[in-house]
C-alpha cells in the first residue's frame, strides 16, 4: 500500500479520533507500507506524524501557516529530510486531517449502492460515478474501497444523465472532454455542458465559457467567453474571477487593464481560487518592477498548495 493510502486507511480506522499513541500509528504505517520502494517516504511520514498530530484535530479550513512551515523546517534541520519530501509529507498529512482527502460516506455497502442505482436512483448513480472517477472512496460501514475506474464512472454518469440529473450531464461533458472512460469527443462535451448549463448548473456554464475561450467543440469566440465569465462573476463563481483577471491582464475582448486585473486576481485568491493564489505567488516572487516580496510569495504559494495546486508546493519548497 502506498503511503498516502496508508494515511487514509489509518484515518478511517480511527474515525477521526485524536491520535495520542504515536507507536500505534507507527505500527500501522509499518504494517501497511511494506513495499521497500517507499521506505524513505514512510520514514518521512512517520516523522510528520510524530511532530504534527495535535492533541485535538485541527478544524477543517483552519490554516496554521506558521506552525506547518515551522514543522517543515524542523524536519529538514533536525531529521535531515529532503526539503521537497518534507513539504509533501506535512501537506499530505495536513490534507488528510483537514478532511480534504479522506473517505466519504456513500451508504452501507457497495452492493446496496449498486442495487439502488440499478433501481433508477439517479442520485446514487451520480455519487457512484463521482466515486469511481475520484478513486479511493471508502464506505464507512464496511471499509470497502471504491477504486478508480474511468469506464464505470462514465457508465454511472450516463445512467444519471438519462434520468435528467443536471450535474451528471456536466460530468459527462467532462468525460467526453478529457476522454475519461470514453473516446474523446469535443462536440459531445460541449453539448452536454450546454444541456447542464441550461438547467442551471454554474459549473457547466463555466465549462461552456471554456469551450468558447479555447474552441472546444465549437468555433472559438473569446468575446462570448468573456460575457459568460462576467455572468458567472456576478453570481459569485470564484474561478470566473480568475478568468476575468486573465482577460483584463492580456487585453482579450476588453481593453488591457493590468491594475484592475491585479485587483481581480487578489479577489479570486482571497475567495479560494488556487490558480489565482499561485499566480499571486509568482507575481510577488518575480515582480515585473521592484524587489521580490518573498514573504508575500510564500503566503500565496502556501494557500495554493493547501488547495492542491500542482506547482505551488514545489515553488514553496524552493523559497
Distant-in-sequence, close-in-space partners of 56: CB < 8 Å, separation ≥ 6 = 18
Residue 264, pLDDT score: 95
**How far apart, in Å, are the Cα atoms of 130 and each of 147, 158, 170, 221, 228?**
11, 12, 12, 31, 26
Gap between the Cα atoms of 7 and 10, Å rounded: 5
**How far apart, in Å, are the Cα atoms of 92 and each of 45, 117, 265?**
9, 33, 27
Q: How far is CA 103 from the centre of its chain?
A: 14
Residue 144, pLDDT score: 65
Block means of pLDDT (10 residues each) for the chain, length 319 residues? 55 46 52 56 64 48 60 72 70 57 53 85 91 70 72 95 95 95 96 96 95 94 96 92 94 92 93 91 85 86 80 76
Gap between the Cα atoms of 163 and 4, Å rounded: 36
DSSP 138: E
Gap between the Cα atoms of 91 and 198, Å rounded: 39
**How far apart, in Å, are the Cα atoms of 239 and each of 70, 170, 235, 252, 276?**
31, 16, 11, 17, 8
Grid cell listed for 222: 473569446
Residue 295, pLDDT score: 85
Q: Which of 196, 199, 197, 264 lies closest to 224, judged by CA? A: 197
Residue 113, pLDDT score: 79
- Residue linked to cell 451508504: 107
Grid cell listed for 233: 462573476
Residue 157, pLDDT score: 96
- Give me the count of residues in the chain: 319
Gap between the Cα atoms of 205 and 216, Å rounded: 14
> How large is the angle between the packed helices 3-14 and 39-52, nearest 10 degrees?
40
Residue 106, pLDDT score: 52
Residue 94, pLDDT score: 62
Per-residue pLDDT of 58-102, as tens digits, reads 444 444 566 667 777 777 777 677 777 777 767 666 655 554 444
At residue 76's C-alpha, the angle toward residues 71 and 78, to 5°, is 85
Residue 318, pLDDT score: 74
Collapsing DSSP to helix, strand or coil, 146 comes out as strand
Amino acid at each position: 500500500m502506498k503511503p498516502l493510502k496508508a494515511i487514509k486507511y489509518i484515518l478511517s480506522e480511527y474515525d477521526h479520533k485524536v491520535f495520542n499513541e504515536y507507536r500505534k500509528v507507527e505500527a500501522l504505517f509499518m504494517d501497511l507500507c511494506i513495499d521497500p520502494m517507499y521506505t524513505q517516504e514512510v520514514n518521512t511520514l512517520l516523522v510528520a506524524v510524530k511532530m504534527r498530530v495535535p492533541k485535538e484535530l485541527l478544524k477543517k479550513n483552519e490554516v496554521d501557516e506558521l506552525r506547518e512551515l515551522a514543522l517543515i523546517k524542523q524536519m529538514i534541520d533536525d531529521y535531515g529530510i529532503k526539503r521537497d519530501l518534507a513539504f509533501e509529507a506535512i501537506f499530505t498529512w495536513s490534507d488528510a486531517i483537514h478532511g480534504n482527502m479522506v473517505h466519504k460516506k456513500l451508504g452501507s455497502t457497495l452492493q446496496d449502492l449498486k442495487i439502488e442505482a440499478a433501481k433508477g436512483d439517479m442520485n446514487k448513480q451520480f455519487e457512484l460515478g463521482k466515486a469511481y472517477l475520484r478513486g479511493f472512496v471508502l464506505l464507512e460501514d464496511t471499509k470497502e474501497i471504491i477504486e478508480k475506474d474511468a469506464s464505470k464512472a462514465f457508465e454511472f454518469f450516463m445512467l444519471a444523465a438519462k434520468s435528467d440529473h443536471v450535474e451528471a450531464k456536466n460530468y459527462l461533458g467532462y468525460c467526453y472532454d478529457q476522454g475519461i472512460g470514453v473516446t474523446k469527443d469535443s462536440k459531445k462535451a460541449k453539448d452536454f455542458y450546454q444541456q447542464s448549463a441550461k438547467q442551471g448548473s454554474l459549473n457547466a456554464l463555466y465549462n461552456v465559457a471554456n469551450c468558447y475561450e479555447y474552441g472546444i467543440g465549437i468555433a472559438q469566440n473569446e468575446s462570448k467567453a468573456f460575457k459568460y465569465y462576467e455572468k458567472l462573476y456576478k453570481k459569485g463563481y470564484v474561478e470566473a474571477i480568475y478568468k476575468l483577471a486573465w482577460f483584463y491582464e492580456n487585453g482579450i475582448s476588453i481593453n488591457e487593464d493590468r491594475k484592475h486585473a491585479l485587483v481581480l486576481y487578489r479577489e479570486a485568491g482571497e475567495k479560494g481560487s488556487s490558480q489565482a493564489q499561485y499566480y499571486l505567488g509568482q507575481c510577488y516572487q518575480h515582480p515585473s518592477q521592484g524587489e521580490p516580496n518573498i514573504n508575500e510569495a510564500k503566503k500565496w504559494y502556501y494557500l495554493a498548495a493547501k488547495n492542491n495546486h500542482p506547482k505551488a508546493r514545489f515553488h514553496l519548497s524552493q523559497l
